[in-house]
Amino acid sequence: MNGSTLDRIDLLLLAELQRDGRVPNAELAERVHLSASACLRRVQRLERDGVIAGYRAELDPEKLGLGLQAFVRVQLRQHDPQTVEAFARSVNAWDEVVACNALTGDMDYLLQVVVRDLDHFSRFLLDRLLGQAGVEDVNSSFVLRMVKPMRGLPLPSA
């Protein structure tokens, strides 16, 4: 299933679930003008087809003592499969890295890092990231404030 096979009701369901993934089925059905059973069948199909990849709680980093966020651009020394795979394994093992994307351009990866404070970031950078074999250059930018948090994906028009 892709964006072109989703009808107007599917898109309404997805929009509502992105806003509130815990909305009870009966209320969701009412919001999109379906019966509860038809709504449940559609949501289950969207889950089965992988359009809905999962559900999770949105946590407040400040309330968890995670007061510092940074974006870290990483350049690898070489790009052979072993180096790239070793880097990917390390990144996936580090709890501080909440997202990592491979990039085009002069840097190879963009890491989103969430830590307690500057001391925690410094330990992460020096002990983990810079100690990772194959890392040649690192450039960090700290988040001053969040202007627009991730609230869901843009949905195509029906």
pLDDT in the model for residue 3: 53
What is the average pLDDT score of the chain? Answer: 95
Domain 62-142 fold: Alpha-Beta Plaits (3.30.70)
Q: Which amino acid is at 130?
A: L
State the span(s) of the chain assigned CATH 1.10.10.10. Answer: 3-48
CATH numeric code, 3-48: 1.10.10.10
Pair type for strands 109-115 and 68-76: antiparallel
Q: Does residue 47 or residue 150 have the better pLDDT?
A: 47
Residue 25 pLDDT class (50, 70, 90 cuts): very high
State the span(s) of the chain assigned CATH 3.30.70.920. Answer: 62-142
* pLDDT higher than threshold 90 for residue 4: no
pLDDT in the model for residue 158: 57
* pLDDT higher than threshold 70 for residue 82: yes
Q: Give the residues across from 115 on adjacent strands.
A: 68
